[in-house]
Each structure stands twice: as C-alpha cells, then as structure tokens.
Amino acid sequence: MQHFELKGTTRKVGNKAVIKAFRREGLVPCNLYGLGMENVLFTVDAKELKALTDTPKSYIVDLVLDGAKPQTAILHELQWHPVTDACLHVDFLAVNETKPIAISVPLVIEGHAKGVQQGGKFYQNVRSLKVSALMKDLPDELTIDITPLGLDKRIKASDVQVKNVTVVSDKDTIICGVKTTRNVTAAAAEA
C-alpha cells in the first residue's frame, strides 16, 4: 500500500474558541490514538489534508509531528461541515507492521461482461471493500474481472479472493452485476 506523508504541529487541549481559531487559520484539528499510546492532539494544514481525503485511494499515513520521527497511522474517522464540506476534525489510528490493519481499498473493474454483450445492463453497487491484512500485504486496489459475468449474474464480496488478505466487508455485499433489460426480455418472448 502507498504511503502519504503529512506534517503536523502538536497542540494542547483547547475549548471551542481555540478550535475555531485553528480553523480560521486554515488548520484542521486532529487526534492520534491506538497501540496503547496516549492520545496526541495536533493540527495539520487543510490544503495538505485535502490531498489525502479527496481521492478514492487509500493510504498508510506517515505523520511527522513537529519534525520528529514519522508515526505510522491510517485515517480512522473524518468529520465534515454539513454545508461547506470542509473537514472539521480527523481521527488517526496508529498502526504497526506486526498487527493486521482493517482499511477500505478501492475496487477496479476490468473486462467486458458477456451479459452486456448479450444486451444486459452492467451495474456497480460499491466502489471499495474493507479488508484486513498486515501492512506489507495490503493491496493498493482490488481488481475484479467481470468478463465471465452473464445475464442476471453478480459478484459478491465473498467471491473476492486475495492472498494473505481477508475481506472484512459483509460477505453478501453485491459488488456488481448484469441485469436483464426489457429489450432482451422482449426478444426472448418473441423467440
């Protein structure tokens, strides 16, 4: 999995006025926790954070706080402003190479489904799946080949098999499929 370096500055616990002052300066308040460590409060530049949050890709984040040694983490939770869509707060979860990490990984669809060539309509329900694996085994993306997909067939999360990776998403989650269209049904009725 790709790494993303994010620089931040540690901060003290503050009230609403202090937090609002950070946001006016273009900073986003953040929190780092996990692995038995104490919570670390810090701020990051909102523009730098956009490069991490405004992409379908998933990253392992290398947090550099006050120029110290990078701390490995993943995005755990984001809070957004309901009107402006500005990021209000970010929670990072500290991770290491010895424990499995659960993270959402984007899906890439490949091929041309047989069912579409027969007149069906392709649909995709989800764009990512949650998986669990050690850091070294995490894939950047999951590739799904839809070539054998016929009419009224679908691919579920349980059908995705990757070496050393466990799919954590619900096994019955429908990733994509091919629906029969009215034209195909009418042609079959005429025949």
What is the torsional sign of CA 129, 133, 139, 143?
negative
Q: Which CATH class for the 3-94 domain?
A: mainly beta
CA distance 44 to 111: 41
CA distance 152 to 173: 16
What global pTM score does this model have? Answer: 0.82
CATH superfamily of 101-190: Ribosomal protein L25, C-terminal domain (2.170.120.20)
What is the torsional sign of CA 52, 57, 60, 62?
negative
At 115-169, the pLDDT tens digits run: 999 889 999 999 999 999 999 999 999 999 999 999 999 999 999 999 999 999 9
Domain ranges of the chain: 3-94, 101-190
Reported confidence tier of residue 178, pLDDT bands at 50, 70, 90: very high
Q: Which of 67, 95, 80 is nearest to 3 (CA)?
A: 95
CA distance 15 to 28: 14
Q: Residue 135 is encoded by which pair of tokens?
A: 């850091």
